[in-house]
Chains A and B, each alone.
Chain A
Amino acid sequence: MIVHFSQIATILLMVAGLYVVIARGNMVKKLIGLSLFQTSVYLLYILPGKVLGGTPPILDPARAVYANPLPHVLILTAIVVGIATLALGLTLVVRIKEAYGTIEEDEILAKEGPKENLKDRVRNRSKSGRGGTAA
């Protein structure tokens, strides 16, 4: 149990983040969950890169054992991607708030989705070729 402490922490974070994305209807909270989910992946990569007794990966004649630098480089890239995604997501939320006046997914769907579908369904059933009334 204790041996795999880091892996357990990683998986807890991963599942918690994914749960928030699925369970919450608030768009900002969803993004927070998404960030948590992505962050857990950083741990997944970084943790195995640690070498016990190793120094930071800087070449030095006095030190022979050092941590694996590759995961850090990879995760630096992943962090950039994460920031870009979060910034873009928040930008979209700001614009959704301006367009709809809410960031609750249910309320937005209530404003758009069912009405649209119902209208379509009615039109399909009546199979009228006449031009639709202005929406």
Chain B
Amino acid sequence: MRLDVVLRVATKFMLAPLLLFALYVQFHGDYGPGGGFQAGVIAAAAIILYGLINGLGPVQRIVPVGLLEVLIPGGVLIYVAVGLASMLLGDNFLDYNHLAHDRIHGQEWGVFLVEVGVFLTVFSTMIAIYYAFAGRRRS
């Protein structure tokens, strides 16, 4: 695999557009199809692709296991924190109306923050699943 020039070069060309596309899907989720879930999977696919070509060691230098263990609950924590913030502002759980100066901006901010949490959790969970299977030795 290491000497396979075609795969390695093709991957190099694909990684940056993949990550960029993930960000596009993430930030465009407010206006069109997309959102944290899809973006997280696309971004994770980029990392997994890198891992498939370069092996588990190099990819774990980019995204270490310790980071994943923080990001998976961290994403959920963002989601819960947004819900708690809306509760502290006097609304129901996950009611974004008072998160900004008016309703529309409040909703936009609320959805955006929750989607960030979703992105982090989905992204790190997909990579964690890949690590868990790729890291097992054949006995």
Contact = CB atoms under 8 A, between A and B. Distances in A.
Answer whether A and B touch in the complex at a CB cut-off of 8 Å.
yes
B33 A87 contact: no
Contacts of B129: 87
Contacts, number: 15
A80 B37 contact: yes
B139 A98 contact: yes
Interface residues of A, number: 11
Interface of B: 32-33, 37, 129, 132-133, 136, 139
Interface string A72-96: 0000100010000001001100100
A56 B33 contact: yes
Interface of A: 56, 58, 76, 80, 87, 90-91, 94, 97-98, 101
A82 B42 CA distance: 18
A97 B138 CA distance: 10
Contact of A91 (B33, B37, B132, B139): B132
Contacts of A58: 32-33
Nearest to B129: A87
A94 B133 contact: yes
Contacts of A101: 139
In order of increasing CB-CB distance, the 9 nearest A-B pairs are: A87-B129, A94-B136, A98-B139, A58-B32, A91-B132, A76-B37, A56-B33, A94-B133, A90-B133
15 contacts: A56-B33, A58-B32, A58-B33, A76-B37, A80-B37, A87-B129, A90-B133, A91-B132, A91-B133, A94-B133, A94-B136, A97-B139, A98-B136, A98-B139, A101-B139
Nearest to A56: B33
